[in-house]
Amino acid sequence: MIDFVFTWFRNSIMQIIILVGPVLLVALVLGIVISILQVLTQIHDASVAFVPKFLVIMLMVLFLGGTAINVMTKFFVSVVSAWQTIP
């Protein structure tokens, strides 16, 4: 039982990293690029940094949403099927 819990916890953390990693990586790179552009142009407005990041993150979620749902569904099915085998 304990092994199942640890395995399930480790697998769930890996699923979170796989699902959220690309979006966070794109947001990080875009944030660095926007910060460099703000330093070069000396425009320090919060909306200049917020709006492009928001739009790109929403586009990433839109394009990767179907894949994320498929991955989460497969993970849920595997957890439920493994749970039924516990004595």
pLDDT exceeds cutoff 80 at 85: no
Residues 61-77, mean pLDDT to the nearest whole number: 90
In a domain, 43, yes or no: yes
Q: What is the pTM of this model?
A: 0.74
pLDDT exceeds cutoff 90 at 62: yes
In a domain, 45, yes or no: yes
In a domain, 19, yes or no: yes
Structurally, the chain folds into a number of domains equal to: 1
Per-residue pLDDT at 87 = 62
Residues 64-77, mean pLDDT to the nearest whole number: 90
Domain range for 41: 2-82
In a domain, 53, yes or no: yes
In a domain, 87, yes or no: no
In a domain, 55, yes or no: yes
What value does the mean pLDDT of the chain take? 88
In a domain, 16, yes or no: yes
Burial 19-45, CB ≥16 within 10 A → b, else e: beeebeebeeebeeebeeeeeeeeeee
